[in-house]
Amino acid sequence: MQAVGLVVEYNPFHNGHFHHVQEAKRVTEAEVAIAVMSGQFLQRGEPALVDKWTRTKMALASGVDLVIELPYVYSTALAHNFAKGAITLLDAIGCSTFAFGSEQGSITPFLNTVELIESNRAQYDIFIQQAIKTGMSYPQALHYAYESLKLTYPNHYIDLSQPNNILGFHYIEAANALQSKMQAVTIQRIEAGYYDEVDYQKHIASATGIRKALSDGQDVSHFLPEKPYTLLCDWQAKHAKFMSWEVLWPLLKYAILRHTPEQLTAFADVQEGIENALIKHAKTSNTYTEFMMKLKSKRYTWTRLQRMLTHIYTGVTKEQLHAFDTPTYIRLLGMTENGQHYLSTYKKQIELPLISRVAAVKDAMLTLDIQATTMYAIGMQLFSPQKIDEDIKTPPIRV
Amino acid sequence: MQAVGLVVEYNPFHNGHFHHVQEAKRVTEAEVAIAVMSGQFLQRGEPALVDKWTRTKMALASGVDLVIELPYVYSTALAHNFAKGAITLLDAIGCSTFAFGSEQGSITPFLNTVELIESNRAQYDIFIQQAIKTGMSYPQALHYAYESLKLTYPNHYIDLSQPNNILGFHYIEAANALQSKMQAVTIQRIEAGYYDEVDYQKHIASATGIRKALSDGQDVSHFLPEKPYTLLCDWQAKHAKFMSWEVLWPLLKYAILRHTPEQLTAFADVQEGIENALIKHAKTSNTYTEFMMKLKSKRYTWTRLQRMLTHIYTGVTKEQLHAFDTPTYIRLLGMTENGQHYLSTYKKQIELPLISRVAAVKDAMLTLDIQATTMYAIGMQLFSPQKIDEDIKTPPIRV
């Protein structure tokens, strides 16, 4: 059985994701699709709209055969580390290919870009340093260095200002670093840009657009396959609200103000220099959005701020987060019969421990996943009765 | 002008307090009554029912001329340190007497008891050690040692199992340690034991009884002077609820679960060995009472647990709390014209800095008071719109 790996968040699962799963299986001729999915907190530094088990059910109903959890350490990291965690897990579980959505849509320019940068690392770093000396920000300097390299070695490259292209680039880079045998495939994203608002003329909207529509109380049935849509409706019927930073604001505010400025800088990703602004604006803001509008600046992008806030919210320190290099386990969130068949066939060739029952395992990286799940559940309790020990109590979903 | 000092919490101010203020002035013939009052968190490890400014107003309407804040460092401490902070401040502000309520009601047995223990400290400590070796708890051993000393040197002593006698004992002990010139006076408490429920046949009920009656929605007008009662009603009309641990439970629970067991032991008063129980029971408890019932044991009394929880809630660590010895300022919360006159007359003889505007002062001990006030306000925001920077913005009350 051949397996294709997908790196996903499914926040929530929509028609674009469905297209991606189907295309990935069709193009790679894989019999099994394995998704490595962010848990309760996501790469943009946000809590997921609905919890990881509900998103797992959405995936399993839509062509994915196995869902494994991307540990908190990677799911809340910058693209480089996010990709490293995800690709390492897909490689470890035996995928022969991995398929990612991109603006670019064909794989050669990705391979060219990775090759260009890897072969000219020294020159690339010189360009970056030059740019920083002129006063550019780090992202600007990366862009300058890349454009400079492209001029030196003309070829067909990707546009590295597109968010999904950036992720794809890092997936391939991570696979190379691992010397993985997995082959990279890209599926062109259709009909919706990453940040677009929903357009009811289309059947595909971005997850960002769908979340916005949901928070505005709009109907989103148009953009989700039937079963994921039902799961989303069930969640709303049960909990009345979706999870968001806005909902968590009372707790986040309390967490920020409970610390001295010095203590705040101990949390992962919190850059020295921002601690006083965090406290000052937390004191005067009644909503998360108000807080973020005050906090945002040229120096700190929205997602960078959100990642800091994620770690402050969950209480994860730099010391805790930086203790890790590579994933230490494969956590199963759910599987179809086909996925179970794959696992029982290849189990012995998988070198990382497969975890289906959390209670039995002592692992520092896993402890952070459990912690993040507890903190997510504590937030849920603000608006809906909720058990806390879900990670211990919830077995993998089987459909 | 002679001033009498009072050590108070006024949670809330009631007829028994009124009696105490009047009697203290009458017995000492003082023209000014100065109260050193716990701020937002109290000696039993609880948030005050209503904030410190409201309680200051209650006091100023009822015969107290000056209210100064007992810093958080002392207001949340064991009786010994609570007394040390309070008596040091009353001495510093120039009181010639201090008057405390007690079950005992006459001062000689207090002086005898302090003299007995201070003169026989070595023997007292031996008795304590003996008792601990037989398996007694520390409070039991203290009791045993005291009873043993009393047998050795028969005289008229106080009953040290009564809560207000214990406090009085520590006040006198603290005054002796300071070599203060203040004379101690005790006023007998009337008609209500510390833990009694309210009895509508009487006009005096304990603060504990009144708080319970309030939480049961009972009328308490019978037990409070008119103005404090009006202030209490105004608070209820404005905020709908009174402050309590039950109200703060969502935040306290989040604070506990946001930490590893090791991190929890860094907070002030958290004894090693309880950290896992804190986390375990926080996970499964829906209310503060449920949590405390699970946590309470022979080893950990209710108030001892509450002091730990206070520091976890406010985020104050052992390192922060143990950095202090003696009070470093006198914080004015409010004054009558008479109180202002006293201050302007004696200002130059007061050696500690008098603080009326917090914003202008940098002091580590004061920083904890501001922190506690911020954490109290954050809790208020769970049920009522509230500004955060009250300590900076609120000038002393003047009536």
pLDDT tens-digit map of A140-178:
898 999 999 999 898 899 998 888 899 999 999 999 999
What number of H helices and E strands is found in chain B?
Answer: 19, 8
Helices (H), chain A: 15-28, 52-60, 72-75, 79-92, 107-119, 121-133, 138-152, 163-178, 207-215, 226-239, 245-257, 261-264, 275-284, 288-295, 302-314, 318-321, 337-346, 364-380, 390-393
Q: Quickly state the pLDDT bin for B388 (edges 50, 70, 90).
A: confident
End-to-end CA gap in chain A: 19
Which one of B315, B374, B381 has the shortest CB-CB distance to A250? B381
Q: Contact B128/B149 with Cβ under 8 angstroms?
A: no
Q: Does the distance separating the beta carbons of A389 and B283 come in below 8 Å?
A: yes
Query: Does the pLDDT at position A200 exceed 80?
Result: no
Nearest-10 Cα torsion for A197, A39, A390, A95: 120
Q: What does the pLDDT read at residue A275?
A: 96
Nearest 5°: CA angle at A270, between A161 and A264?
160
Angle, vertex CA A172, rays to CA A171 and CA A178, nearest 5: 90
> Which is more confidently placed, A340 or A300?
A340
Q: Which residue has better confidence, B25 or B192?
A: B25
**Average pLDDT of span B58-81:** 97
Q: Give tens-digit pLDDT for B362-378.
A: 899 999 999 999 999 99
Interface residues on A facing B, Cβ-Cβ cutoff 8 A: 250-251, 253-255, 257-259, 263, 283-284, 314-315, 374-375, 378, 381-382, 388-389
Distance from C-alpha of A27 to C-alpha of B59, rounded to nearest angstrom: 79
User: Å from B223 to nearest chain A CA?
Assistant: 36
What digits encode the pLDDT tens for the residues A92-136? 999 999 999 998 889 999 999 999 999 999 999 999 999 999 988
pLDDT-wise least confident of A76-80, A357-361, B381-385 = A357-361
How high is the pLDDT of residue B252?
98
For residue A357, the cross-strand partners are: none
Give the per-residue SS3 of A75-86: HCCCHHHHHHHH
Check CB contact under 8 Å for B254 and A255.
yes
The reply to whether residue B283 touches residue A253, judged by beta carbons under 8 angstroms, is: no
Is pLDDT of A258 > 90? yes
pLDDT value, residue A199: 63
Report chain A residues whose CB lies below 8 A from the CB of B251: 250-251, 254
Closest residue of B to A254, CA-based? B378
Looking at every residue in chain B, the average pLDDT score rounds to 93
Residue owning tokens 């805790």: A320
Q: How far is A13 from chain B (nearest CA, A)?
A: 29
pLDDT average, residue stretch B210-219: 91
Between B35 and B322, residue with greater pLDDT: B35
Tokens (6 digits) for A230 = 């039902």
**Percent of chain B clearing pLDDT 70 (strictly above):** 97
Q: With beta carbons under 8 A apart, name residues in chain B contacting A364.
A: none
| Calculated CA dihedral for residues B190, B191, B195, B200, nearest 10 degrees | -140
Q: Is pLDDT of A385 > 90?
A: no
Alpha carbon A174 to chain centroid, angstroms: 15
Is it the case that residue A203 has pLDDT exceeding 60?
Answer: yes
pLDDT confidence of residue A355: 94
Average pLDDT rounded to a whole number, residues B266-286: 95
Which DSSP letter does residue A356 get?
S
* Distance (Å) from the alpha carbon of B329 to chain A's nearest alpha carbon: 21
Residue B310 has, within 13 A of its CA and on its CB side, a CA count of: 31
Measured in angstroms, the CA of A94 and the nearest CA of chain B are apart by 35
| Cα separations in angstroms, A220 against A42, A207, A234, B9, B213 | 21, 11, 14, 56, 51
What's chain B's length in residues? 399
Residues 6+ apart with CB under 8 A from B384: B238, B239, B240, B241
- Per-residue pLDDT band at A195 (split at 50, 70, 90): low
Would you state the pLDDT for residue B359?
79
CB spacing of B255 vs A253 below 8 angstroms: no
Q: Do A378 and B284 touch (CB under 8 A)?
A: no
The b/e string for B321-334 (b: 16+ C-beta within 10 A; e otherwise) is beebeebbbbbbbb
pLDDT confidence band for B205 (50 / 70 / 90): confident
User: What are the Cα distances from residue A280, in Å, to A294, A361, A384, B40, B154?
Assistant: 10, 41, 30, 21, 61
Query: Residues of A with CB below 8 A from B378's CB?
Result: 250, 253-254, 257
Nearest CA in chain A to B253: A378
Q: What is the tens place of the pLDDT at every residue in B74-117? A: 999 999 999 999 999 999 999 999 999 998 889 999 999 999 99
Q: What confidence tens digit (pLDDT) does each residue in A22-78 have?
A: 999 999 999 999 999 999 999 999 999 999 999 999 999 999 999 999 999 999 999
Closest among A101, A134, A74 to A20, alpha carbons compared: A101
A266 by DSSP, 3-state: which? coil
Interface touch B315/A258, C-beta < 8 Å = yes
pLDDT mean over B213-226: 92
| A250/chain B closest Cα distance in angstroms | 8
CA distance B30 to A308: 57
Tokens representing B225?
């002077």
Query: With contact defined as beta carbons under 8 Å apart, do B322 and B334 qualify?
Result: no
Query: Do B301 and B137 contact (CB within 8 A), yes or no?
Result: no
The answer on pLDDT for A193 being more than 60 is no
**Token pair of A258, please?**
């409970």
User: Of the candidates B257, B263, B382, which has its C-beta nearest A378's C-beta?
Assistant: B257
Residue to test with chain B: of A248, A254, A312, A318, most B Cβ within 10 A: A254
State the Cα–Cα distance between residues B73 and A299, nearest whole angstrom. Answer: 39
Name residues whose C-beta falls within 8 Å of residue A319's C-beta, 6 or more positions apart in sequence: A266
| Residue of B222, B107, B77, B104 whose CA lies nearest to B160 | B104
A389/B251 touch (CB, cutoff 8 Å), yes or no = no
Rounded average pLDDT over B288-308: 92
pLDDT value, residue B196: 56
* B253, B259, B388 member nearest A315 (Cβ): B259
* CB A175, CB A87: distance < 8 Å: yes
Whether complex ipTM tops 0.95: no
The single residue listed with the structure tokens 């950036």 is A166
Rounded-to-integer distance, Cα B256 and Cα B50, Å: 24
**Which chain B residues are closer than 8 Å to A366 by Cβ?**
none
pLDDT-derived band of residue B299, with 50, 70 and 90 as boundaries? confident
Convert the pLDDT of each residue in A85-94 to its tens digit.
999 999 999 9
Instruction: Chain B: give the shortest CA distance to residue A315, in Å.
Output: 5
**Which region among A329-338, B135-144, B207-216, B220-229 has the lowest average model confidence (pLDDT)?**
B135-144
Query: Is pLDDT of A80 > 60?
Result: yes
Cis amide leading into B12 (omega within 30): yes
Question: Cβ contact (<8 Å) for B315 and A259?
Answer: yes
Best B252, B258, B288, B391 member to test A by mutation, with max A CBs in 10 Å, is B258
- B3-8 and B97-102 beta bridge pairing: parallel
Q: How many CB atoms lie within 10 A of CB B201?
A: 7
Alpha-carbon radius of gyration of chain B:
21
For residue A119, give the amino acid letter. S
| Residue B359 burial (10 A CB sphere; 0-12, 13-18, 19+) | exposed
Going by C-alpha positions, the residue among B108, B69, B26, B3 that lies closest to residue B338 is B3
pLDDT per residue as tens digits for the range A259-318: 999 999 999 999 989 999 999 999 999 999 999 999 998 778 899 999 999 999 999 999
**Minimum CA–CA partner of A374 in chain B:** B257
pLDDT of residue A182: 97
Q: Which residues of chain A make contact with B384, given a CB cutoff of 8 A?
A: none
Give yes or no for residue B61 having a pLDDT over 70: yes
CA distance B216 to B211: 9
Residue in B253, B314, B374 nearest the CB of A378 = B253
Mutation site, B311, B374, B378, interface A, largest A CB count within 10 A:
B378
Q: How many CB atoms lie within 10 A of CB A137?
A: 13
* pLDDT value at residue A140: 86
Q: What average pLDDT does range B70-75 have in this prediction? A: 98
Tokens of B178: 């300071």
Mutate to test the interface with B, among A264, A288, A378 (most CBs of B within 10 A): A378
**Contact at CB, A375 and B253, closer than 8 angstroms:** no
pLDDT of B389 above 90? no
The answer to whether A255 contacts B257, with C-beta atoms less than 8 Å apart, is no
pLDDT for the residue B201: 64
Position B199 confidence tier, pLDDT thresholds 50, 70, 90: low
Q: Which one, of A20, A142, A92, lies nearest residue A343 by Cα?
A: A92
